[in-house]
Structures are given as C-alpha cells and as structure tokens.
Amino acid sequence: MSERRKQLYTDREIQGYLLLALIIMELVLVGLLLFFMYQGIDQIIEQQLYQIHRKGADSSWVSIFMLTGWMMGGFLLVNLIALYLANVIWGRYIRKTVTDFSKRLDKLQRRDFSNSEQDAENSHRMIDLMDQWLLKEKNRSHEIALIVEQLSSPEYKALTSSDRQQLQQYLQKYRRLLTGN
C-alpha cells in the first residue's frame, strides 16, 4: 500500500478541465434523460388512459420499454462521442507537448541554446523545467568557454613550448567537445 500513487493527475490543468466538462455533461445528460423520460411516459399514459379495458390494446409496458431503450441508447451514444472527443483533445495535447520536448532535446544535442523555437503559449510544467535547465546549461557552457579563452591567453607564455603545445591540444579538444564538432 505504501507504493500508491501520490499524484492523481499527470497534468492537472487539462485533466481538470476534461473532468469538469465530463461532470457537467453527465449532469446535463441525466437531467435531459429524466425530462424526456417523464414527457414520454406521460404521453404513453395519456394515450393508454381510456383504452385500458379495450381488447387487443397495445400494452403500455412495451412502449415504455421501447422509450427507455431509445433514451439509454442516446445516452450511451452521447457518452461515446464525448469520450472520443476527450481522446482527441488529450492526444493533441500530448503530441504537442512531446513534440516541443523533442525539439528542445534536438537543440540540446546540437548545443544550440538560442530561444528561437521556444513557444510562449506552451505552459506545460515539463517544458518549463526543461527550458530552465537549458538556460543553466547555456550559462555553464558560456562560463566554460570564457575559461578556455583565458587559458589560451598570452599569460601562459611562460610555459615551455612543448607544454604550451600540449595545453593547446587539450584546449582544442575541449573546445570541440563543447561545441559538438
């Protein structure tokens, strides 16, 4: 039992809206179902009221069951359509989030820290966290590049030529690793 999920929603905003829409839709559907059932049964009773002792009269129960079947079928159909729409909305949202996340991963792989592809409209928590991390990586990369520039400055000319060449080779290799070239 200790391994139960602590967080019930993976994305509170969109799941909250979908849950709220589902609850409101179900309340409206049940209200409409009860209203139309009342109207339908009232009409059936009105039609059968003075024919109760007549021979060969249709049973009102058959009409009531048919009405109930149609109402429940309509209720089920509306619920299936709502589930399909929720699936489409959720799928688009997930695809957009994963696409944005993948774009940022591709930029990171290229060591591209520019802000050109960042969408201001996307407010997903994971994308925001990744953007914060990318900013930290950009700052770290800039600081490393400054240190590398300082190490290759004329201050280090006091080293022997072989030490200087070896240091320059290490710095070049380090620069290539930083830039990904």
CA atoms within 13 A on the CB side of 75: 18
Report whether 33 contacts 71 (CB < 8 A).
Answer: yes
Look at the pTM and tell me if it is higher than 0.75.
no
Report whether 75 contacts 32 (CB < 8 A).
Answer: no
pLDDT tens-digit series, residues 143-179: 777 766 766 666 665 667 777 777 777 777 776 666 6
Report whether 92 contacts 20 (CB < 8 A).
Answer: no
pLDDT tens-digit series, residues 4-27: 555 444 676 777 888 888 899 999
